[in-house]
């Protein structure tokens, strides 16, 4: 039961994260404005393009893993997201405004917790394939 909850949490977290990032980067690219996500290593129009492409890839991995296809790729996606969040917020040059620390800690904790869900999904997909 706990493994299933972890898997569903991982799907919801990454699904919402990718949809929000697709919307934000899509609006930035369509309007010609630049994004300012100081926790990521890119800047300007490159940032918007990388975030859009990465989010589309992330959404594809969520959908495929939900259908028990390429679950290992979803696990890798979860690791990349967690590394970028920890590196950007904790070890990067990101400065916290009042109230931002709680949001950053929640995002880091959620991304780390979703790694477990992605692991359980990958293991469940392997077990299903081994049965048949």
Neighbouring C-beta atoms of residue 14, cutoff 10 Å: 25
Domain ranges of the chain: 2-131
pLDDT given at position 68: 87
Most distant pair of Cα atoms in the chain: their distance: 54
Q: How far apart are CA 74 and CA 58, in angstroms?
A: 8
Contact present, 106 and 55 (Cβ < 8 Å):
no
Each residue's pLDDT expressed in tens, for the chain with a length of 132 residues: 889 999 999 999 999 999 999 999 999 999 988 888 888 889 888 999 999 999 999 999 999 999 988 899 999 999 999 999 999 999 987 888 888 899 999 999 999 999 999 999 998 876 665 655
Helices of type H across 32-99: 44-66, 71-86
pLDDT at 51: 96
């Amino acid at each position: 039961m706990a493994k299933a909850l972890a898997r569903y949490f991982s799907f919801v977290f990454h699904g919402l994260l990718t949809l929000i990032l697709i919307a934000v980067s899509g609006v930035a690219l369509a309007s010609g404005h630049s994004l300012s996500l100081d926790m990521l290593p890119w800047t300007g129009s490159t940032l918007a393009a990388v975030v859009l492409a990465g989010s589309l890839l992330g959404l594809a991995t969520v959908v495929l893993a939900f259908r028990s296809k390429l679950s290992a790729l979803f696990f890798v996606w979860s690791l990349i997201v967690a590394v970028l969040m920890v590196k950007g917020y904790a070890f990067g040059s990101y400065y916290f405004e009042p109230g931002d620390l709680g949001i950053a800690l929640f995002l880091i904790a959620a991304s780390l917790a979703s790694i477990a869900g992605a692991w359980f999904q990958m293991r469940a997909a392997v077990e299903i394939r081994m049965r048949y």
